Amino acid sequence: MSCRVMLVSKSAYYAWRKRPAVIISAQTLDLHRRAKALFKESRDSLGSRELGKKLRKEGFEITRYQVVKLMKRLRLIVKQRIAYKVTTQRKHSDAVADNLLNMNFNPPGPNKVWAGDITYLRSGEGWQYLAVVMDLCGRRIIGWHLSSRMTTDLVEQAFLKAYGLRQPPKGLVFHSDRGSQYTSKCFRKLLKDLDCRASMGDVGACWDNAVVERFFGSLKHDWLFKIEQPTREHMKQDVAAYIKYYNLERLHSSNGDQSPIEFENSFRNVSGWA
């Protein structure tokens, strides 16, 4: 009767009964538990390469091929991202700074080169705009601001939060695109008053600020888009949660597979940077 309900033959049922049970070791169970936990912590965004790095960092001896098989066995499926879109354009009456970076995204130490950009986010209550400031040495997000308006004040608030946190020396380079918020007289005056130098990428060249664009991609497609964002306040708290995760947990190959804060701590221990 049971075989008829389950749509299997009696011979298949008895063959299954005779099959020896698979015994899983405590180490394998621990591996499965950590793989699931790390994948869930990332909101189902860790691919086989990054998950493997995380597991090896915790002491598991596992190759990328084994991680691929493990993810398939545990049904850990990553969703693909969508393409980048340009969000800002400059006013032609505003001045443009030279590109001091020229795609050199690895300065010799913290507080040498920062980068900033704006992206748009949609909640159930409408659009919001996020401006961030990243220290390119270590890729840490050191300042950010959300607003329902994409104005110069948006980028000023993000920059001032970063400046208040880090108190950089004179001559800091701040790199951005040529959006009107960054080319405005108010923002250029702010940089000048704080003894910072402006640097701007070429028109329409998103790769000129590629590391910040990658951050926005992971923020949206690895995190925010995974759950409902019913209100602006909910989204603000979720952005804060991701930035904390990104700075503390997300590994970067440019950092020697360390998170931004781990990299800064390592740099501090070696160089005595304070």
pLDDT, tens digit, 9 for 90 and up, residues 8-27: 677 766 665 666 666 678 88
Q: Tokens 């909910």 — which residue?
A: 234
Mean pLDDT score of the chain: 87
- Strand-pair category, 173-176 with 197-200: parallel
What's residue 57's pLDDT?
Answer: 87
pLDDT, tens digit, 9 for 90 and up, residues 132-159: 999 999 999 999 999 999 999 999 999 9
The residue type found at 42 is: S
- Asked if residue 114 has pLDDT above 80, the reply is yes
SS3 158: helix
Question: Do 181 and 121 belong to one domain?
Answer: yes
DSSP summary character for residue 252: B
What's residue 44's pLDDT?
Answer: 87
Question: Do 129 and 237 belong to one domain?
Answer: yes
Is this model's pTM higher than 0.95 or not?
Answer: no
Question: Do 161 and 267 belong to one domain?
Answer: yes
pLDDT band at 83; cut points 50, 70, 90? very low
Question: Do 162 and 258 belong to one domain?
Answer: yes
In percent, how much of the chain has pLDDT > 90?
Answer: 57
Q: Tokens 């189902």 — which residue?
A: 44
Q: How many domains does the chain have?
A: 2
Residue 65 lies in domain: 9-74
Which CATH number goes with the domain that contains 238? 3.30.420.10
pLDDT, tens digit, 9 for 90 and up, residues 175-204: 999 899 999 999 999 999 999 999 998 765
What's residue 24's pLDDT?
Answer: 74
Which tokens belong to 214? 């990658």
- Asked if residue 206 has pLDDT above 80, the reply is no
